[in-house]
Amino acid sequence: MRPVDLFDDGLPVLPDQTSDDTDHGWGEWRGGDDDDARLIEDRPPHWG
């Protein structure tokens, strides 16, 4: 038996968000907030 300090302020046991739960983790990276160019490029051809 050893004493366990329950009020240890060390590293968190579980992080709030994992790295694979981000855009970068899914292989997406946003360079800025302007998505207009990307939306125009990704629009379907029949939207002419």
The predicted model scores a pTM of 0.29
- pLDDT of 29: 66
- Cα separation, 30 vs 28, in Å, equals 7
Residue 14: the pLDDT is 76
Q: DSSP secondary-structure letter at 21?
A: G
Q: What is the pLDDT of residue 31?
A: 62
CA distance 38 to 3: 57
Q: Which residues of the chain have pLDDT under 50?
A: none
